């Protein structure tokens, strides 16, 4: 009896790419994967980057600017703006104020998009003004109000 012949397998050889096609996988990665990773990275960075100073820092800066403008107004005009004139007197000349000049170009809103609260005389002391932001909750005279330092009104 004849011994069984085993099937011989032909040696398997990897098919070589033609000499000029080695760059195709690199190109595929460069054109598709890299931009996707970059966009994902930009999105992540955009979420992590701070969008300006914190609201309380901006608020304290604005309150300081208001105080300076109010003090300059009082020095020029002999008193702080009254309740009716309000903070607008810093940007728009009130009637009868001849020594007035623009102390601010515009009256900014607080970091939460609301106007500042200006009271003169202060509820408790007649020669002191009250300048505050209603804070994040938007309600005046609550615990989260941010109050500027009171300033003593000059004697006329």
pLDDT in tens, 54-100: 777 888 889 889 989 998 998 898 888 888 899 999 999 999 888 89
Q: What is the reported pTM?
A: 0.61
What is the set of domains in the chain, with CATH numbers?
55-152 (3.30.700.10)
The band of 49, judged by pLDDT with boundaries at 50, 70 and 90, is low
Report which of 126, 137, 132 is spatially closest to residue 66, judged by C-alpha positions: 132
Q: Mark out the alpha helices in 4-139 (DSSP H runs).
A: 24-28, 34-48, 55-77
Average model confidence (pLDDT) across the chain:
78
Question: Prior bond to 121 cis, omega within 30?
Answer: yes
* Residue 133 bridge partners (DSSP): 146
- The pLDDT of residue 156 is 46
Distance (Å, rounded) from C-alpha 85 to C-alpha 111? 23
Q: Which of the pair, 54 or 122, is modelled with greater confidence?
A: 54
């Amino acid at each position: 009896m004849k011994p069984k012949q085993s099937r011989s397998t032909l040696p398997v050889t990897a098919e070589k790419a033609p000499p000029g096609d080695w760059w195709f996988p690199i190109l595929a990665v460069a054109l598709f994967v890299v931009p996707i990773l970059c966009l994902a990275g930009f999105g992540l960075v955009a979420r992590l980057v701070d969008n300006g100073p914190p609201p309380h820092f901006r608020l304290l800066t604005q309150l300081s600017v208001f105080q300076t403008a109010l003090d300059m107004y009082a020095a020029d005009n002999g008193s702080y703006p009254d309740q009716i004139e309000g903070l607008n007197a810093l940007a728009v000349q009130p009637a009868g104020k001849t020594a007035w000049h623009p102390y601010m170009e515009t009256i900014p809103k607080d970091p939460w998009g609301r106007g500042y609260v200006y009271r003169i005389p202060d509820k408790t002391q007649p020669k002191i003004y009250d300048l505050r932001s209603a804070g994040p909750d938007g309600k005046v005279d609550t615990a989260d109000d941010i109050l500027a330092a009171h300033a003593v009104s000059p004697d006329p």
